[in-house]
Chains A and B, each alone.
Chain A
Amino acid sequence: MSELVALGKAGAAIRTANDAGRAAVIGYLPAGFPTYDGALDGLKALVDGGADVIELGLPYSDPVMDGVTIQRATEIALAGGVRTRDVLSTVEKLAAYSDVPVLVMTYWNPIERYGVDRFAADFAGVGGAGLITPDLIPDEGAEWIAAADKNELDKVFLVSPSSTDARIAMTTAACRGFVYATAVMGVTGARDKPSELAAPLVARVKAATELPVGVGLGISNGDQAAGVAAFADAVIVGAALVRALGDGGAAGVRALTEDLAEGVRREPRAPAER
């Protein structure tokens, strides 16, 4: 019973994929890039291409966890005038378009500035599923945790190869939806080689929680997704999709998403252990 609650909206979508014998695909694009409408078209292409969960980026002036691809995209979005309210309206349009859960990936200050309670209520009101918070750790997250619980929103905190087992236990206990495992010590961006740190990290996380574990950072195509799908419940792709949108528009996003969706279906896997 408690797991049903902790799975939240994103976790339920991931487990549906896992029950079908595959890992889920989580795709990231920032709001407002290359334009407000262009971002919405890209996000719809993510849904159409087979993403199980959408990660919508809230552009921020000081994105310390992002590599150059996402930095450039969010700079363009901000220069184009995208506002927090535009992120909320993008969520609303996506929620009307499909049932795929929409999480917002956001650095903390824009939420604190909006007002944590007010954001949680407004975000839930437009059909948002939860937040991924790369610079908010549970240690500092009491206000968000309370607001998320009140509004039944997913709380996705990150774990890292450098996290101690004690921190993994504390962090996963604070999560609802899934646990975001960063595959490398580094920032977002496509990488050529698979990380050797991801599989041991996922094993440590799974020892601490029954929540699904998503792996992100550096995954850029179906082959890499297939590799990660062998040990993770969800595969998270960001910078490669941003580049695909910039280079090939919505059609580029759709093609890459289909490649990723094919990748996670390559090796049949046992239904998730509970």
Chain B
Amino acid sequence: MSTVLPDQFGHFGRFGGRFMPEALIAPLDELTQAWREAMADPEFTGEFERMLREYIGAPSLLYDATRLSDAAGARILLKREDLNHTGAHKIRNAIGQALLTKRMGKPRVIAETGAGQHGVATATACAYLGLECVVYMGEVDTERQALNVARMRLLGAEVISVKTGSRTLKDAINEALRDWVASVDKTHYILGTAAGSHPFPAMVRDFVRGIGDEAREQSLELLGKLPDAAVASVGGGSNAIGLFTAFIPDESVKLYGIEPGGEGFETGRHAATITAGQVGVLHGARSFLLQDEDGQTIESHSISAGLDYPGVGPEHAWLAETGRASYRPITDAEAMDAFQLLSRTEGIIPAIESAHAVAGALDIARELGPEATILVNLSGRGDKDMDTAATWFGLGNKEAGRE
């Protein structure tokens, strides 16, 4: 198993590549070169590491979740990305790309966001580094996530509500790409996940791979050996590729990506892109995607806004096809059960995205047995999800919940 992928054209096997307007090809080439030079420059990587350490709080803790482990029937370790500044793993990618933006001499940043976590992370990085920031967000999401809109505006970002298409994350990406075609000479697009055109999947992976690098070292320190499995939720796939990358050469470590199963895979109302298994091209790369008979993108469904995306990063498609990682869906209901379980056993309220990984780990614990040690990426904290949780469980009002 090689980790030198992608090839020079951004291909992970038959996945990835560049399906983009010609206008963006030369800028993508320049970006690729700038990124490669930066990653080879100790001044850049040193500054990135300093920011991770002093500003983000990395390395994040590896936490031995003993009460959750008792409930699960196997030992569960949580990689506490929820403790990072801004509350999720997303900040690693945002500060990395923002620092690269400065290095390229571009004064302006654009980004897309769904739930608002990547938008907040990007607005934060831009405030920290003195960059102009514009965030595109679907109109449906600006209404659902008003608090994050306010956060981004407080941080000095302009938030543009996207009113075309399904008015959600995929349309926010479309609108950001339209902006970028017209503004690329002075603007960098900080894509929020390990998807899109080359070099984004590989570049985002490089900026978030610290999750797995740290966890691998912390596991060796804590256990004296590697864990038996590493588990992460997969929407676009940045937190999962961040966890997996360090472990890909360790063939004894099983890798599990947990996809959003929505109301149940069989209902068709889900966002389990790899499980659905249809190959196509969306947002600049070939990968798996949710599409109809004619290749039109189908709207995804998940209780977790951060996983609610009809595509997935091309490296995950490749890991699935080669069998190095396996992918399975977890329903909204299973994720919310895990959300409550982690809250009540450990006093940790996870993001609903991360609750999918916890739910997946409970199943995997049963499969691997009591001797197994399972590493779970707790990619974010759940403060942003309290409205959803209050509605789901019927908290804070007289109506009966679904407990």
Contact = CB atoms under 8 A, between A and B. Distances in A.
Given A62-B297, A114-B294, A171 B22 contact: yes
Contact of B283 (A62, A136, A161, A186): A62
A109 B22 contact: no
A67 B164 CA distance: 10
A159 B280 CA distance: 24
Interface in A98-117: 108-114
B326 to A, nearest CB: 26
Contacts of B17: 139-140
A187 B281 contact: no
B296 A139 contact: no
A83 B296 CA distance: 10
A71 interface: yes
Given A62-B283, A112-B295, A164-B26, 13 more contacts: A62-B170, A62-B297, A65-B181, A109-B291, A112-B280, A112-B281, A134-B21, A139-B25, A140-B17, A157-B22, A182-B22, A182-B23, A185-B181
Nearest to A182: B23
Q: Is the interface of B mostly helix, strand, loop or mixed?
A: mixed
Contacts of A185: 23, 181-185
Interface of A: 60-65, 67-68, 71-72, 75, 78, 83-84, 108-114, 134-137, 139-140, 157-164, 167, 171, 182, 184-187
A113 B23 contact: no
Contact of A186 (B164, B182, B281, B293): B182
B9 interface: yes
B178 A64 contact: yes
A161 B23 contact: yes
Contacts, number: 117
Given A62-B170, A64-B174, A84-B294, A71 B164 contact: yes
A140 B19 contact: yes
Contacts of A134: 21
B295 A110 contact: yes
B165 A61 contact: yes
Contacts of A64: 21, 174, 177-178, 181, 283
A162 B295 contact: no
A110 B25 contact: no
Given A62-B170, A112-B280, A139-B18, A83 B9 contact: no
A167 B26 contact: yes
Given A64-B21, A186-B182, A163 B291 contact: no
B308 to A, nearest CB: 16
Contact of B165 (A62, A139, A162): A62
A207 B296 CA distance: 38
A163 B184 CA distance: 13
Contacts of A68: 164
26 contacts: A61-B296, A62-B170, A64-B177, A64-B181, A64-B283, A71-B164, A108-B281, A109-B289, A109-B297, A113-B291, A135-B19, A136-B19, A137-B20, A139-B25, A140-B17, A160-B23, A161-B23, A162-B23, A163-B25, A164-B26, A167-B22, A185-B183, A185-B184, A186-B181, A187-B178, A187-B181
